[in-house]
Amino acid sequence: MTATEPRPDLDPRWADMNSVDRIMEVQEISDAERDEVIHVVEDNSDAIFTWNYEKGERARLNKLYEKAKTSQWNGETDLDWSIEVDPTQILTIEDPNENAWFRENPDSPLYKMNDEEYSRIAVEGVNWRLSQFMHGEQGALLCTAKIVETVPWIDAKYYAATQVVDEARHVEVFAKYLDTKLDGEYPINPHLKMLLDDIINDSRWDITYLGMQIMVEGLALAAFGFMHGLTEEPLLKKLLRYVMSDEARHVAFGVLSLQEVYESLSHNEIRERQEFAFEAALRMRDRFLQQEVWERLDVPVRPMVEHLLNQPDDQKEFQRLLFSKIVPNCKKLGLLDAGDGWLRDRFTDIGVIQFEDWADTSEEFLEFDAVNQDAEAAAKAAATN
């Protein structure tokens, strides 16, 4: 069975999860939507006050809040924007096997592309990826502001408020990098846009956590780490390191909060969360097919999407590594095996279940603490001198 053939034994909602038709249909948006500057989404949530100001009732959330207060950074002064960037040299490591699959396979839309053409694909790919990071960070900005408004615990409101500041800073630095070091940005990918709309539109505050903190932020943390490992461009490398430091706390915030909530939900309520998580996973996977890049470069979009979906399993490292934070965190929350193990089966279907025993992010954020690590290193250097 190829990647584009549906599985007959799945519920109709999921049977076509690898269908090119399903993926391409999402891309069919109007010119008005492409050109919009203001996008309105109905927010159905209630604003919740709490008159219980007892700080530290949830000790692990309080620990996260205290860590956030000492881990703030300034995108204007802590990053060296004077560094000149060559867009063709941002990603210095490529997989020769993957290149060969695209450039030497007669069925590939990129067959026999020359080095200059392929270099342009790499440049546009970086531009597109950073653009989607920026749009996703604005989604996180709105969602975390919504969490401040809707979560009933004071410790969670305190921490979420620090994350609002983090997300504003992330939008700012990605926008500045795109504007000053690259050739402008791409519009938001429709798959990502639909997911953000659904997260914001849902009235349940735990869905905001699940959709943003676990799924979107979890994938972002893995994607930032992947790009951080592939670039030697010093400005972007430090930018990504600092953003990852924040993101690890954000994902931990979701894990620590939802553990308590999901222990008390019914079987049907948990199944709803499992299905929401899987739909989010599919949308994020489909977003990384980067259809907008192929369209801009006049590469036939549908054949390119089909070719990407049918890549050999040993050449899908990037797509799979994107789930390296999501799967263990879903397991930590009990979503992977709840009920009849529905989400485990779905993650098996898309080839990412192997990450289930990787480190979850509930305490991992301490390893990512870039601000305090840099401060300690500077203090040691000063003492040595």
Q: Give pLDDT, residue 66.
A: 96
- Give CA separation, 200 vs 140, 146, 279, in Å: 10, 8, 15
C-alpha to C-alpha distance for 67 and 97, rounded to whole angstroms: 42
Given a contact cutoff of 8 angstroms between Cβ atoms, the answer to whether 220 and 171 are in contact is no
C-alpha to C-alpha distance for 152 and 164, rounded to whole angstroms: 17
The number of beta carbons lying within 10 Å of the beta carbon of residue 164 is 18
C-alpha to C-alpha distance for 160 and 210, rounded to whole angstroms: 14
Q: Give pLDDT, residue 11.
A: 62
Q: What are the DSSP E strand ranges found in 55-207?
A: none
The alpha carbon of 359 is separated from its chain's Cα centroid by a whole number of angstroms, namely 17
Q: Give pLDDT, residue 176.
A: 97
C-alpha to C-alpha distance for 348 and 309, rounded to whole angstroms: 16
The segments of the chain whose pLDDT lies below 50 read 1-8
The alpha carbon of 245 is separated from its chain's Cα centroid by a whole number of angstroms, namely 14
Q: Give pLDDT, residue 98.
A: 64
DSSP one-letter string for 42-99: ---PPP-------TTSSHHHHHHHHHHHT----TTTSS-TT----GGGSB----HHHH
Query: Does the predicted TM-score (pTM) go above 0.85?
Result: yes
Q: 199-226: string of b/e by CB count within 10 Å (b at 16+)?
A: bbebebbbbbbbbbbbbbbbbbbbbbbb
Q: Give pLDDT, residue 131.
A: 97
The alpha carbon of 302 is separated from its chain's Cα centroid by a whole number of angstroms, namely 24
C-alpha to C-alpha distance for 25 and 14, rounded to whole angstroms: 15
C-alpha to C-alpha distance for 118 and 50, rounded to whole angstroms: 56
Domain locations along the chain: 60-74+94-384
Query: What kind of fold does domain 60-74+94-384 have according to CATH?
Result: Ribonucleotide Reductase, subunit A (1.10.620)
Q: Give pLDDT, residue 31.
A: 56
